[in-house]
């Protein structure tokens, strides 16, 4: 049960932190339609996070709000990639593509999980994630294969994000303990990379030859950026615990 809760935190925290970062684009996107699009994608992820964290909370005796607002950065289990600062629009497109391609494989695999509730959440999420990846791929091609400047900025953003990609696919003893329920992240790497490189090819972008960063988000070693992000996300709930409107 503790293993299951931990696994749900992996998935739920990735979705929650990614949603929060996308929410930061509202009023900051390059055009109004994109404000709306990134906000909606974040909202889908927030919905997925709520389903996953509610489930984790039932196993841990805590509710979704307590998990979201009253845990510190070291208690989160998200990967470093999702918590990176907002950056520019190219960073948002690249991250949405990388995280989306991973999530697409993850949720597709989880639809056959032996845990029916998790399989149900995944079956719901996969349909939404396909739209997200399609959206990111459209922008990646338009900007990558666009002007000199848009190409350069996309390639720079890709170079910045790439070292964080491997962490998503790191094998971990936890998924061995949840045989048939969880998915070994390493098995998702090849199909996700296929999807990503197909888009990058079309976008005339080059797969960076950079060293990976250490990672450790799954084991309570979050990125340095998570704490400041949580401070903003959690301040209202912590200043007024239990408040509602």
Partner 1 sequence: MQEAPRVTATHPRVLAALGGSADPELRRVAVAAGNVVDPEIPVLTLADLGVLRRVYRPVEPDGKIVVALTPTYSGCPATATMAADVVRAAADLRSAVAVEFVLVPAWTTDDMSEQAGAALREFGIAPPGARPDPAGPIPLSLSVRCPHCDSRDTRRTSRFGSTSCKAMWACQQCSEPFEEFKVL
Residues that bind partner 1 (CB under 8 A): 19, 33-34, 36-37, 40-41, 43-48, 50-51, 116, 119-121, 123-125, 127-128, 131, 134-135, 138
Nearer to partner 1, 34 or 91 (CB): 34
Residue 198: name the closest of 137, 139, 143, 148 by CA: 137
Q: How far is CA 244 from the centre of its chain?
A: 28
Nearer to partner 1, 130 or 172 (CB): 130
Tokens at residue 29, please?
């996107």
To the nearest whole angstrom, how small is the minimum distance from the Cβ of residue 59 to partner 1? 17
Tell me which residue has tokens 């950065």. 73
To the nearest whole angstrom, how small is the minimum distance from the Cβ of residue 194 to partner 1? 13
Contact 237, 65 (CB under 8 A): yes
Q: How many residues can be counted in the chain? A: 245
To the nearest whole angstrom, how small is the minimum distance from the Cβ of residue 36 to partner 1? 6
Nearer to partner 1, 23 or 163 (CB): 23
To the nearest whole angstrom, how small is the minimum distance from the Cβ of residue 127 to partner 1? 5
Nearer to partner 1, 90 or 108 (CB): 108
Nearer to partner 1, 58 or 128 (CB): 128
Within 10 angstroms of residue 128's Cβ, the number of other Cβ atoms is 17
CB-hemisphere CA count at 13 Å for 223?
Answer: 20
Question: How far apart, in whole angstroms, are the C-alpha atoms of residue 102 and residue 115?
Answer: 20
To the nearest whole angstrom, how small is the minimum distance from the Cβ of residue 98 to partner 1? 18
């Amino acid at each position: 049960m503790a293993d299951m809760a931990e696994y749900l935190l992996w998935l739920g925290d990735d979705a929650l932190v990614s949603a929060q970062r996308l929410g930061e684009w509202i009023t900051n996107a390059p055009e109004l339609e994109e404000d709306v699009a990134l906000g909606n994608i974040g909202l889908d992820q927030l919905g997925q996070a709520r389903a996953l964290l509610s489930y984790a909370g039932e196993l841990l005796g805590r509710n979704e709000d307590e998990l979201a607002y009253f845990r510190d950065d070291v208690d989160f289990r998200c990967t470093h990639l999702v918590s990176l600062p907002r950056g520019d629009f190219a960073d948002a497109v690249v991250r949405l593509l990388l995280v989306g391609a991973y999530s697409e494989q993850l949720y597709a695999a989880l639809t056959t999980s032996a845990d029916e509730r998790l399989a149900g959440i995944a079956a719901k999420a996969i349909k939404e994630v396909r739209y997200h990846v399609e959206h990111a791929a459209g922008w990646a091609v338009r900007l990558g294969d666009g002007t000199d400047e848009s190409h350069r900025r996309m390639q720079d953003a890709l170079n910045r994000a790439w070292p964080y990609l491997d962490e998503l696919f790191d094998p971990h003893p936890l998924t061995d303990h949840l045989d048939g329920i969880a998915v070994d992240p390493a098995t998702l790497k090849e199909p996700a990379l296929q999807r990503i490189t197909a888009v990058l090819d079309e976008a005339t972008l080059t797969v960076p030859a950079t060293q990976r960063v250490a990672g450790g988000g799954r084991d309570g070693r979050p990125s340095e950026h998570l704490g400041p992000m949580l401070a903003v996300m959690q301040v209202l709930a912590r200043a007024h615990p239990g408040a509602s409107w």
